[in-house]
Amino acid sequence: MGARVFALGAALGLLACGPDDGATSDEPAENVISTTLRVLPPDEEFAGKDLEQWAVEFMHWHYSWTSGQCLNAEDDRDGSRCGFNQPKDSPVFFFASCEFARTPEPVVNRTLCKVPEGKAIMVPIGFVGDDNGGLDDDEVLQRPPEVLEENVDELHETMRDLTLFADQKPTSDLSRYSVGPKAIDITVGEGPNRYTCAGFDVENATVSPSYFAGYFALVAPPTVGKHRLEYSSVYSYFGRNNYYRVSSLFEVTEGQ
């Protein structure tokens, strides 16, 4: 591996988003009032964009997080910040990822999230990435694009145990929802931003190229009411397994 690899549902501190005990697909869905979530097939476009294009939009949103306390939707354990920095004019609502954990037990149990009616939902089942942002400008640390892409591809190939339950209904053959490796440009403003919060000195700059790969799914705009999305994955890095597991009970609100 190179000098730095981001697990971008993570940032490689690899700490769990939270040890909260959350409802799983095996538990009663008494809080789910309708089972109408529909996961779009990976080859189906939504609002004129395919899954890869929406994954790129997700990554730009992922990097756009900025707050004075370095808090964002990813750190959100109860779902109260799930609307953080959502693009108002987008037809898609981006669900946050979570930091990968060293053990499979931790669950992010988000119960307070509210999603505006009429928006599809982008679900990050698991993803990784790498770039040279914040590394010294010398030949030792600055890695060529092909090395960045290879690093991401190698991590992507280790991703497994993928699950996605939409109102407790499993989505089959998630390998079809693979995206990348894909190169994108990341533009960030003043700190705190995604890089400075991770300890890298990148402000008012464009990081190019930044590679990512992973598994993403789009959920068609849900009906008004409560729903549940659960998603998980695991990948290996330097021989160590890293787990990712999220349970989100959310409410689609009318007239927003």
Q: What is the mean pLDDT of the chain?
A: 84
Q: Which one is predicted more confidently, 197 or 132?
A: 132
Four-residue CA torsion sign, 255, 167, 65, 114: positive
163 membership: H or E segment, kind and range: strand 160-166
pTM here is 0.87
What's the whole-number mean pLDDT along residues 25-49? Answer: 76
Q: What are phi and psi of 127, to 5 degrees?
A: -155, 160
With contact defined as beta carbons under 8 Å apart, do 212 and 180 qualify? yes
Residues whose CB falls within 8 Å of the CB of residue 158, separated by 6 or more in sequence, listed in order: 235, 236, 237
What local confidence, expressed as pLDDT, does residue 19 receive? 42
Per-residue pLDDT band for 34 (boundaries 50, 70, 90) equals low
Give the SS3 label for residue 221. Answer: coil
pLDDT value at 20 more than 60: no
CA distance 62 to 82: 12
pLDDT value at 137 more than 80: no
Select the highest-mean-pLDDT range: 35-44, 65-74, 213-222: 213-222
What local confidence, expressed as pLDDT, does residue 140 receive? 65
Q: What is the pLDDT of residues 45-60, one digit of tens each?
A: 999 999 999 999 999 9
